[in-house]
């Protein structure tokens, strides 16, 4: 039988896996549109604090409305596993374009421009992406040949107040840099 997340979403296929969960391509049953669902998998990392933080950050990401940001549309819990529903983005990650070395200089600049517009918008709204990388920048080609860029995965965003103070009290991973 078909796999359903909650009562609203039919899972069509797996898109990818990350450190904390799986991302699925799914169909919103009522609206009859494609969505991407990120489902946090059970494990040591999935404690109550992590779930609360995930939901809080997903709610913040829901407020980001920009043509170069894949919007968060819904959040929920399915079989004790939190999930976030995002706009499904056609295209390929920038990572694959880099690996294939298939972009012109003009296209590279256009991708950079659209990515910066998205991040600037989010920063002005007090949201920092925290995981910007080629795998989180989706690129598609419009019918006229122009590129369309969407920054994805604001689910681990860092929320800042007006003074730039970290309100999430997230710990930084890795060691501090020291000068040579």
Q: What is the pLDDT of residues 76-134, one digit of tens each?
A: 888 888 888 999 999 999 999 999 998 999 999 999 999 999 999 999 988 888 788 99
Distance, in Å, from the CA atom of 49 to the CA atom of 60, rounded to the nearest integer, reads: 17
pLDDT of residue 158: 56
Task: State the chain's mean pLDDT as an integer.
Answer: 82
User: 13 near 39, Cβ under 8 Å?
Assistant: no
Residue 136 DSSP code: G
Segment 16-32 mean pLDDT: 87
Distance, in Å, from the CA atom of 154 to the CA atom of 54, rounded to the nearest integer, reads: 10
Phi and psi for 151 in degrees, rounded to 5? -85, 130
Closest CA to 139 of 95, 84, 87, 77: 95
- Assess whether 131 carries a catalytic annotation: yes
pLDDT at 145 over 70: yes
User: 94 near 133, Cβ under 8 Å?
Assistant: no
pLDDT of residue 27: 96
pTM of the predicted model as reported, rounded to 2 decimal places: 0.78
Q: Which residue has the higher pLDDT, 44 or 104?
A: 104
User: 156 near 72, Cβ under 8 Å?
Assistant: no
Task: With cut-offs at 50, 70 and 90, classify the pLDDT of residue 149.
Answer: very high
Please tell me which residue in 47, 101, 131, 161 is annotated as part of the active site. 131
Task: With cut-offs at 50, 70 and 90, classify the pLDDT of residue 44.
Answer: low
Angle among Cα 163, 168, 169 to the nearest 5 degrees reads 95
């Amino acid at each position: 039988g078909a796999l359903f997340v909650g009562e609203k979403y039919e899972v069509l296929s797996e898109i990818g896996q990350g450190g904390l969960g799986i991302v699925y391509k799914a169909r919103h049953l009522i609206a009859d549109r494609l969505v991407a669902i990120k489902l946090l998998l059970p494990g040591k990392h999935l404690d109550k604090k992590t779930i609360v933080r995930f939901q809080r950050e997903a709610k913040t990401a829901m407020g980001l409305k920009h043509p170069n940001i894949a919007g968060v549309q819904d959040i929920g819990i399915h079989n004790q596993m939190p999930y976030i529903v995002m706009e499904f983005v056609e295209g390929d990650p920038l990572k694959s374009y880099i690996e294939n070395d298939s972009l012109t200089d003009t296209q590279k600049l256009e991708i950079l421009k659209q990515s910066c517009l998205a991040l600037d918008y989010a920063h002005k709204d007090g949201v920092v992406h925290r995981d910007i990388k080629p795998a989180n920048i989706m690129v598609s080609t419009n019918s006229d040949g122009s590129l369309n860029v969407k920054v994805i995965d604001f689910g681990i965003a860092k929320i800042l107040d007006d003074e730039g103070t970290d309100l999430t009290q997230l710990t930084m991973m890795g060691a501090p840099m020291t000068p040579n």
